Amino acid sequence: MKLFVKFDYKTLCNKVLNEVLERHNIEFEVTGFGEVDIKGQLAGEAYDELVAELASYGTSVIENQKTILVEKIKDAVIEMVFEEENQIKVNSSVYLSEKLGHSYGHLANLFSEITYSSIENFIIFQKIEYTKKLIIKENMSLTEIAYKLNYSSVAHLSAQFKKMTGITPSAFQRIIAKRQQITNES
């Protein structure tokens, strides 16, 4: 028997952080996705043990300030795209600048320097991932999805979807429908 699971990465990550930090008797507060405020100091050996245990979960502690800001950019984009209350109808550059307290030019240059890609490409990638989710789980039409994700038209959404995935959203919908049909027949 196969069991297919879907992960809510934010919940999973917070649960791992909470369990590991509590196991080490560390007073803390999770202040954002991937951001923890540790109360007090963490001595050398205790810090090393914490880092090692987090690594066993595929989690690493980021110490480079540039990399930290890039992670904050990624988190802000994911929050902007995936969380309904944060879905905005303003320019993403304005949103990111205001949320992170830096000029968009600075954020864009830093992001490109660290990731070798642009913030715009990351936003498009996240929107396409969300589009897939909406097609699969919510059975939404492309018109509804284009409106929800602030695309100027269905054609614009379709063009970006095809550029990122190699197939049109309509072809993706047909593939999903066929898979669901096969699953239901099994």
pLDDT digits (tens), the chain, 186 positions: 777 777 777 778 778 888 888 888 888 887 776 778 888 777 778 888 888 888 888 888 877 888 889 999 998 998 888 876 555 566 889 999 999 999 999 999 999 999 999 999 999 999 999 999 998 888 788 999 998 888 889 999 999 999 999 999 999 988 888 888 888 876
For residue 4, is it within any domain?
no
How far is residue 144 from each of residues 33, 139, 154, measured CA to CA in Å?
A: 28, 10, 9
How many domains are there within the chain? Answer: 3
**20: containing domain:** 9-61
For residue 184, is it within any domain?
yes
Instruction: State both tokens at 186.
Output: 């099994």
> Among 117, 133, 149, where does a domain finish?
117
The whole-model pTM stands at: 0.72
Tell me the C-alpha distance between 95 and 93, whole Å.
5
- Identify whether residues 22 and 74 lie together within a single domain: no
- Identify whether residues 95 and 156 lie together within a single domain: no
Q: How many residues does the chain have?
A: 186
- Identify whether residues 57 and 87 lie together within a single domain: no
Amino acid at 124: I
All residues at 6 or more sequence positions from 123 whose CB lies less than 8 Å from its CB, including other chains: 77, 80, 81, 92
How far is residue 21 from each of residues 16, 36, 64, measured CA to CA in Å?
A: 8, 10, 21
Amino acid at 146: A
- Identify whether residues 93 and 106 lie together within a single domain: yes
